Homo-oligomer: A and B are copies of this chain.
Amino acid sequence: MTRDKMLEAATILFTSKGFDGTSVREIARKTGVNVSLVSYYFGGKKGLLEALMVDFLEGYIERLEEAMKVTHPNAFETMMEMAQSSLLYMQDRHLRARFVLREMTLDSTLIREITSTYLMKEKHLYSMVLKKGMQEGVIESAPLHWTIMHFRGMVLMPFLHHQYVREVFHMHPQQPPFVMLYQKELRGWASKALLKKGFIDESFNSSIQNAASH
Partner of A167, one of B111, B119, B192: B119
Q: Are B154 and A107 in touch, CB under 8 angstroms?
A: no
Q: Output the least CB separation between A106 and chain B (Å).
A: 8
Contacts of A157 in B (CB 8 A): 153
Q: Are B17 and A163 in touch, CB under 8 angstroms?
A: no
Q: Are B154 and A150 in touch, CB under 8 angstroms?
A: yes
Does any Cβ of B come within 8 Å of A188's Cβ? yes
Does any Cβ of B come within 8 Å of A189's Cβ? yes
Name the interface residues of A75-119: CB closer than 8 Å to any CB of B. Answer: 98, 101-102, 104-107, 111-112, 115-116, 119
A102 nearest in chain B by CB position: B105
Q: Output the least CB separation between A14 and chain B (Å).
A: 11
A156 nearest in chain B by CB position: B161
Does any Cβ of B come within 8 Å of A208's Cβ? no
A172 nearest in chain B by CB position: B107
Contacts of A116 in B (CB 8 A): 163
Partner of A163, one of B18, B112, B189: B112
Q: Chain A, 44-69, contact with B by CB distance < 8 Å: what is the 0/1 string?
A: 00000000000000000000000000
Q: Output the least CB separation between A136 and chain B (Å).
A: 19
Contacts of A179 in B (CB 8 A): none
Q: Are A163 and B98 in touch, CB under 8 angstroms?
A: no
Mind listing 7 A-B residue pairs with CB under 8 Å?
A101-B105, A104-B161, A105-B162, A107-B162, A145-B168, A149-B168, A150-B154
